[in-house]
Amino acid sequence: MNNSNNYIDLSKIIKMTDSEIPVEIVFFAENFSDEAVKFASPVKLFGKLVNLSGMLRVEAMLEFSVEYSCDRCLSDFVKAYEIPFSDEIALENSEREIDEYIPYSNSRVDLTDAVYKCIFSEMDIKNVCKPDCKGLCGMCGADLNSGFCNCSDDNIDPRLLKLKELLKQ
Ligand SMILES: [Zn+2]
Ligand SMILES: [Zn+2]
């Protein structure tokens, strides 16, 4: 569900050839029509709108954080992002492929879909809470980051180890 509050008025910058104006918008998770990305914060867009000889561009950064579930230990963690977002903004034109530019009409543009697409393409497929996450024990399911479990031979009581050896035979 797109929120009409996210429209940027372009009427000023359209008339100002070879100039730029600052732009700052905040998007909330509910502004995006797709829910695949689990946002842990609003998405802050800040940068500028540029008019280069009549061609409009948005040149900005996106700041936001996303909640993930660790692939190894399953615990939730938050990752912060700061990624560049820039694209051409052009009059809606059915002759052009939609991924080549962000269309505007009536002197205003809605960046919501383009912002989401940019964020989505940055998402990691594999996610671990930390590079050396030890994950869960395959035997008892204990989180090995918060200590050892009794399934580990390194930590096992020597007497139990002997018992384990006996049981193997
Ligand atoms: Zn983990
Ligand atoms: Zn275990």
What is the Å distance from ligand 1's center to 69 Cα? Answer: 8
Range of the domain at 102: 4-122
Together in a domain, 114 and 145 = no
Segment 47-82, tens digit of pLDDT: 999 999 999 999 999 999 999 999 999 999 999 999
Which ligand has the shortest distance to the CA of 137?
A: 2
Residue 85 inside a domain? The answer is yes
Segment 83-111, tens digit of pLDDT: 999 999 999 887 888 778 999 999 999 99
CA–CA gap between residue 133 and residue 145 (Å, rounded): 7
CA–CA gap between residue 142 and residue 115 (Å, rounded): 39
Assessment of whether the complete model's pTM goes beyond 0.85: no
Which ligand has the shortest distance to the CA of 129?
A: 1
Burial class from Cβ neighbours inside 10 Å (0-12, 13-18, 19+) for residue 37 reads: middle
What is the Å distance from ligand 1's center to 67 Cα? Answer: 13
What is the Å distance from ligand 2's center to 14 Cα? Answer: 64
Together in a domain, 108 and 142 = no
Residue 31 inside a domain? The answer is yes
How many domains does the chain fold into? 2
Together in a domain, 97 and 34 = yes
Residue 144 inside a domain? The answer is yes
3-class secondary-structure state, position 145: helix
